[in-house]
């Protein structure tokens, strides 16, 4: 069947990055994708936050911002998908060009700026997907409008509207492309936000696990304080981590100087180190999802052994296409067997 394949993924890279993204979403939305060859082996099944996952591997937020291609994404073999980031009102995002390939570095830089059709369109797309049936847990990533005078209330608005349609909700406090947003992920600002979110969550007819997505620049005492606040306010888990504003010394691609969040291979080492640190800080009281620079089964297994119960990919998927999903799933199963683990959850934090 024509569609997203190894050849198709390479062909898409001949287009400008944002145009390629739009074409990929169109193919997925119309079902022009092949099914994975086989279901994940039982050893990869895992239960987290009261949800059942066929494997630890999911798609990170940012790919399907308006929840328009969910069926196609599950069809590729993802065990779960996180849609968004969605904001209450439609938002054009930053001026184009705003997405850049760093092919020589296996990386991307984006300064998209929470572009999207807004909450009404997003919720309608989710409702339609639910009616047709969803093949795995569905996460929703929520944010605030750039020009909002009450950013805390933006998160509450999205939570109250989307909780009935989501299996978990992620508070995106760490995008580098909305000025001032990252200040919400630490200190008193985080506690105020979590307190307000807690009030709203207590009134939901259907409770939903809440997660925080943190930035890789959050470290030391500030990181420890954010982890403590997450535990104190009943957050179910953390996603580690978002894109970085740092630029490692070895970048060689012409676009390396563009502003925005860097993702992909250069984020692998700092994201792994952050996972190890937070796994120790959280003492098993938070579910941890690893994302950032995962582009092989080896990367995925290292993140699990560092403390991640679930994984998300994005940039590696852009470069490698659907083939990467199968490679990670089969490679994880092989590594578990070789190390004597009967279940993937037995390997979580094994290197701690």
Tokens of 147: 């020009």
- Cβ contact 329:44 at 8 Å: yes
Tokens of 193: 């936000």
- Cβ contact 239:289 at 8 Å: yes
- DSSP letter (8 states) at residue 111: -
Ramachandran bin of 293, using left for φ above 0, alpha for ψ from -120 to 50, beta for the remaining angles: left
Describe the strand order of the beta sheet including 107-110 as a list of residue ranges: 99-102, 107-110, 261-264
Query: Whole-angstrom Cα distance, residue 76 to residue 262?
Result: 25
| Cα dihedral 314→318→321→326 (10° resolution) | -20
Instruction: List active site positions.
Output: 175
351 burial level (CB within 10 Å; 0-12, 13-18, 19+) = exposed
Residues 6+ apart with CB under 8 A from 306: 272, 275, 276, 279, 290, 349, 351, 352
- Cβ contact 166:136 at 8 Å: no
Bond from prior residue into 85 cis (ω within 30 degrees of 0): yes
Residues 6+ apart with CB under 8 A from 284: none
Tokens of 70: 């969910």
């Amino acid at each position: 069947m024509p569609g997203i394949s190894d050849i198709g993924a390479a062909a898409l890279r001949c287009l400008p990055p944002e145009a390629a993204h739009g074409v990929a979403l169109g193919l997925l939305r119309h079902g022009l994708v092949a099914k994975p060859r086989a279901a994940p082996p039982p050893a990869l099944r895992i239960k987290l936050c009261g949800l059942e996952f066929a494997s630890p591997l999911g798609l990170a937020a940012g790919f399907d911002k308006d929840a328009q291609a969910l069926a196609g994404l599950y069809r590729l073999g993802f065990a779960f998908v996180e849609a968004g980031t969605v904001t209450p009102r439609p938002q054009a995002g930053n001026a184009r060009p705003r997405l850049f390939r760093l092919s020589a570095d296996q990386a991307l830089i984006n300064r998209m700026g929470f572009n999207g059709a807004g909450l009404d369109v997003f919720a309608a797309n989710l409702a339609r997907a639910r009616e047709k049936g969803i093949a795995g847990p569905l996460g929703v990533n929520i944010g605030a409008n750039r020009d909002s005078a009450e950013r805390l209330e933006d998160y509450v608005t999205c939570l109250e509207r989307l909780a009935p349609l989501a299996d978990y909700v992620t508070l995106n406090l760490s995008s580098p492309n909305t000025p001032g947003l990252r200040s919400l992920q630490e200190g008193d600002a985080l506690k105020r936000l979590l307190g307000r979110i807690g009030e709203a969550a207590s009134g939901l007819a259907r409770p939903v696990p809440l997660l925080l997505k943190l930035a890789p620049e959050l470290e030391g005492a500030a990181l420890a304080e954010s982890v403590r606040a997450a535990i104190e306010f009943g957050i179910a888990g953390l996603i580690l981590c978002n894109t970085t504003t740092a630029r490692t010394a070895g970048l060689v691609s012409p676009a390396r100087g563009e502003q925005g969040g860097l993702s992909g291979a250069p984020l692998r080492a700092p994201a792994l180190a952050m996972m190890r640190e937070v796994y120790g800080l959280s003492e098993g009281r938070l579910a941890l999802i690893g994302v950032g620079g995962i582009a092989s089964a080896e990367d995925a297994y290292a993140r699990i052994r560092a403390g991640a119960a679930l994984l998300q990919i994005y940039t590696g998927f852009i470069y490698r296409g659907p083939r990467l999903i199968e490679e990670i799933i089969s490679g994880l199963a092989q590594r578990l067997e070789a190390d004597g683990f009967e279940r993937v959850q037995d390997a979580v934090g094994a290197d701690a």
